[in-house]
Amino acid sequence: MKKIGFLTIGQSLRTDVTGEIRGFLPENVEIEESGALDGLGEKEIKELWPEEGEEVLVSRLKNGGFTKMGEKKIIPLMEERIRELEKRGVTMAVVLCTGKFPDLKSDIPLIYPQRLLYKTVPLFTRGKCIATVNPSRDQFAQSEANWGKAFCKVIATECNPYGYKGEESAASAAEIIRDSDAELVVADCIGYTGKMKADLEKLTGKTVVLPRILVASIVGELL
């Protein structure tokens, strides 16, 4: 039986993500999960908070809450978890985050959702304007900088997927996007669900790209 690893930057298990992904994978594929913050206490997690100018990442904790972290601080932890997944017989792994990462040390193929998004999304637009939905305002500048390489205009909005309460949680972001000239909307976090995508499309009248499903479709095809 084939084994695929899912590596969250937060704490595992991320059944809120793998539950939707599972349907895109062959039945003979076994899922192994690991998290960069597994086994860490509250104090240790707080020490990973991003410093000024550092790439900001947001992920879910085991208790259902969320935390922010600096990209550079968690890379060593992620590489430790990759080695653990390799020992568990995983032959391919997916990073459950849309953040911009350097190449992580690994003896197995690693799939980075951000790289897939940045390659595919521009193909379905004219490259003029895109809207992004982010978990935190702290990510606006990096979203505008990263997506600005492919689009003339980037409209960054905020909607935290952790603690989402339905359409009311997406209302503020949707209002900005609905009246914009965005060609497409990217829900730029692996934490956004199919329900959140549907809510955003209903409220904005625009197509929303959901990273977890884009990744699941490609991974399912590879397997």
pLDDT of residue 223: 86
CATH code for residues 116-210: 3.40.50.1860
pLDDT of residue 1: 75
pLDDT of residue 97: 96
Instruction: Quote the CA–CA distance of 143 and 56 in Å, as a whole number.
Output: 10
Where do the domains of the chain lie?
2-112+213-222, 116-210
β-strand partners of 158: 134
Can you name the CATH fold of 2-112+213-222?
Answer: Rossmann fold (3.40.50)
Listed as ranges, residues in the chain with pLDDT below 70 are none
Instruction: Quote the CA–CA distance of 57 and 32 in Å, as a whole number.
Output: 22
Question: Hey, what's the torsion of the CAs at 195, 190, 117, 182, to 10 degrees?
Answer: 50
- Asked whether the CA dihedral 87, 23, 7, 39 is positive or negative, the reply is negative
